[in-house]
Amino acid sequence: MLRAIYPGSFDPVTFGHLDMIRRSSSLVDELIVGVLNNNAKSPLFSVEERVKILKEVTENIPKVKVVPFEGLLVEFARKMDARMIIRGLRAITDFEYELQMAQTNHKMEPQLETAFLTTNLAYSYLSSTIVKEVAAFGGNISQFVPEIVEKRIQEKINKRRV
Ligand code: ADP
């Protein structure tokens, strides 16, 4: 049984992430979407909100479980009994950091492998940060994120303006 973890902040989840979840879940027996509790970075959405949204948008994708985590990814992988980490590579700019992380994790936990999927060309430009910036300036983000994310971001922005 191959269980993999796809970790990230998902603040918020985009169509790029969803594409990765769909494609990587078809390669493994179980895919755990690990949602990083990074409150120190003051995310737009709390970890509970991000988990809730991810559960909603992945409910029709088989073999996917959404689980929050904090601390070391290798510890989380051990706890979940997962042997593989999945990450996405968008561009050369992602590469150096991702390579360093993968090698560090492998050093700490030699049983754990990191597998990279290259992003779908259609979404290779897309990041959560860009989505938040476009939304903050009133731009239309419907082509970047699921409808529920669009609604939640709008609610957040309206609240912040009050
Ligand atoms: P992190 O804070 O760990 O970078 P993100 O939520 O930004 O978390 O991303 C999680 C994973 O999804 C990373 O491996 C990242 O490369 C990948 N990813 C982010 N945006 C896209 C995209 N548009 N297409 C495919 N993969 C993506």
| pLDDT for the residue 92 | 82
- What does the alpha-carbon distance between residue 123 and residue 49 come to, in Å, rounded to a whole number? 23
Q: How many residues does the chain have?
A: 162
Measure the CA–CA gap between 146 and 153, rounded to whole angstroms: 11
Spell out the per-residue pLDDT of the chain, length 162, in tens: 999 999 999 999 999 999 999 999 999 999 999 999 987 778 999 999 999 999 999 999 999 999 999 999 999 999 999 999 999 998 888 899 999 999 999 999 999 999 999 989 999 899 999 999 999 999 999 999 999 999 999 998 888 766
Q: Is the CB of 20 under 6 A from ligand 1?
A: yes
Which residue is listed with tokens 């082509």?
143
Domains of the chain, residue spans: 3-161
Nearest residue (by CA) to ligand 1, atom 16, is 88
**Spatial separation of the C-alpha atoms in residues 37 and 11, rounded to whole Å:** 10
Query: pTM here?
Result: 0.94
pLDDT of residue 38: 82
- 30 SS3 class: strand
Which of these CATH numbers, 3.30.70.2190, 3.40.50.2300, 3.40.50.620, 3.50.50.60, describes 3-161? 3.40.50.620
Indicate whether residue 23 lines ligand 1 (CB < 6 A).
no
Please tell me the distance between residue 60's alpha carbon and the centre of ligand 1 in angstroms: 21
